[in-house]
Amino acid sequence: MINQKDLIRKVKNYNKFLNPETLSKAYNFALNAHKNQKRDSGDPYLIHPVAVADILSDLKLDSATIATGLLHDTIEDTKTTYKIVEKEFGKEVADLVEGVTKISELEGKVIENSKAENIRKLILATSKDIRVLLVKIADRLHNMRTLSAISDESRSKRIAKETMEIYAPLSDRMGMNHIRDELEDLSFQKLNPEARNLVVERLSINKKNRENTFNEISKSFSKILKDNNITARIVGREKTPFSIWRKMQSKRVSLEQLTDIIGFRIIVDNIETCYKALGIFHSNWSTIPGRFKDYISTPKINNYKSIHTAIIGPKKERVEIQIRTKEMHEFAERGIASHWIYKSSEKVNHLALREYDWLRDLVEIMEKDSNPEHYLEYTKLQMFQDNVFCFTPKGEVIKLPRNATPIDFAYAVHTKIGDTLSACEINGRGSPIQSSLKNGDLVNIIGSKTASPSLQWLSYAKTGKARASIRRFWQTKKNISHKSEKRYISSLCIKIPNVPGKLGEVSSLIGFHESNIINMEIIAKKNDYIEFVFDIQISDLKNYKNLISELKTKDYKIRIIRHRKKDALLQRIFKNFKRN
């Protein structure tokens, strides 16, 4: 455990504006507040908040955030109140501590929607101050490092699963790759220890050969860059067991067939030199097709910048290379924390945080959608995907996830534009609204006052915002057509799996789409399904169309029966009676 003096010295090394008394006071306050508490391991509880503060100081965060790391459990786990923290440390620190407390309130409670409720708290608290999320991620990282101390296996697995599904992708979205890798690997160790041990064991067999290969390739790279008057720092890092396992699963190959276990990072002085270095590598060695990505000209959605390429390098080895500047490397390691520069003060420039506007979209979903499982699904969609860049006719850039459609584009511009979408043009040509968009596409949305979103769009939409808006439109839409005198009768033949609850689901969907069941009969019964005919009264043909679309998306086999006689059931009974 880092002591008080060492922590203050560590923060002072990067933050000349630090007031040592504030950190010293927070350290002693945490010591007194937690003095009678123990961790699951039996160690003094103070070890945890000090470790969290240490992780935050590795990210070079401001003194208010470090103090929050020391105090983050005081309101939740001790008799300390918000007013006491505000009186001792000011409103800024008190608000941050309270934000972390709000997130932690529901953790550890095994209730049906606990995960969804957790992520709601997390995002709503973070939307006010991004530093709340940074403290929470540091808190989770230390808890994962000490996860083996928890004796309850089901609890530790639940924590690991939540980390893998929520906190690791959040760290990635914040640009903190190093923390993401560690969270993923620690979760992997708990959730699938056999697979991880297998990867580690296999890696250890050829470790010596890999180290020798790395040194030789590194020397070759250094020499050729020096010969071309490029000053560069070459960093090599072996991929984590989890990232290796994930690649094995996605490519369906064995560990021996993976060739890019070690990656090289070439760190240079400026962007011009990045492209010059790229030219040198590509002119001296053969490139591997499909592996070049320029994240400098089009950064990732978390603002990560770098040039990625892969070559058949020295000794015919397949080599993965990332070329970046010092600032890009700093962002790749520290993510959003790299915005704290400490030039004129320790306050971050909030203009630098604009790329984290995705939080606003998530908060909009949280506030307007009442179903916790819905906003968990949308949050995952919104946060954890790669992106493409498309343009509006006025030249504005819209970031969207890979394979996004014009539906997603329209809702990204504005919810009203999405709700009135009727057609679109991609690069000047009329295209289906379910087309997949590509980098650089110019998208023109054509709207209509009479148009409204179709539930069928749910199967094409990729962004959380679009899916949430479509669902919300239909959930809040009131039946305006009650006064209409015209009614329609239709019959649907539906094969329903012979599973409890499926018939109820179909009946609910019919009611949800404002249709009435006036008759229902079984026409066939098999071991795995029952075939029903529903006679349905319809007041709005558009709702009927949406009902059929949703039944199809849920994989029900349906058939529309036209001109079905009203006394079909009686005829069937009479026919069987005559046969007997």
* 76 catalytic per annotation: yes
Q: How do residues 348-393 score in pLDDT, each as one tens digit? A: 555 444 445 555 555 555 555 555 555 555 555 455 456 677 888 8
Q: What is the pLDDT of residue 479?
A: 47
Strand 421-426 vs strand 429-431: parallel, antiparallel, or unpaired?
A: antiparallel
Question: What sign has the CA pseudo-torsion 265, 167, 241, 244?
Answer: negative
Fold of 200-336: Beta Polymerase; domain 2 (3.30.460)
Q: What does the pLDDT read at residue 365?
A: 54
Q: How many CB atoms sit inside 10 A of residue 569's CB?
A: 15
Whether the CB-CB separation of 550 and 509 falls below 8 Å is answered with: yes
Q: Which pLDDT value is given to residue 481?
A: 43
**CB 571 within 8 Å of CB 521:** no
The active-site residue out of 40, 58, 77, 129 is 77
What pTM was estimated for this model as a whole? 0.62
DSSP string, 187-237: HHHHH-HHHHHHHHHHHHHTHHHHHHHHHHHHHHHHHHHHHTT---EEEEE
Q: What are the sequence ranges of the domains in the chain?
A: 4-191, 200-336, 383-476, 486-579
Name the helix (H) or strand (E) containing 130: helix 130-145
497: part of which helix (H) or strand (E)? strand 488-497
Structure tokens at 60: 């070079």
CATH 1.20.1530.20, domain 383-476, yes or no: no
Q: How far is CA 17 from CA 20, 22, 61, 330, 536, in A?
A: 9, 12, 12, 21, 72
Burial class (CB in 10 A: 0-12, 13-18, 19+), 402: middle
Residues pairing with 310 in the sheet: 320
Neighbours of 266 (CB within 10 A): 25
H or E element, residue 401: strand 397-401
3-state helix/strand/coil string of 357-384: CHHHHHHHHHHHCCCHHHHHHHHHHHHC
Strands (E), 255-352: 262-268, 286-287, 293-294, 307-312, 318-325
Q: Rg for the chain (alpha carbons), in Å?
A: 29
Q: Which of 40, 76, 377, 419 is catalytic?
A: 76
Which CA distances in Å does 101 have to 73, 75, 121, 485? Answer: 7, 7, 10, 56
Report the pLDDT value the prediction gives residue 369, as an integer from 0 to 100.
52
Buried b (16+ CB within 10 A) or exposed e, 271-298: bebbbbbbebbeeebeebeeeeebbbee
CATH topology assigned to domain 4-191: Hypothetical protein af1432 (1.10.3210)
The alpha carbon of residue 440 and the mean position of all alpha carbons in its chain are separated, in whole angstroms, by 24
The domain covering 486-579 belongs, at the CATH homologous superfamily level, to ACT domain (3.30.70.260)
- Is 260 annotated in the active site? no
Residues of the chain where predicted confidence (pLDDT) is lower than 50: 106, 108-113, 351-355, 381, 384, 479-484, 566
Task: Provide the 10 A C-beta neighbour count for residue 111.
Answer: 8
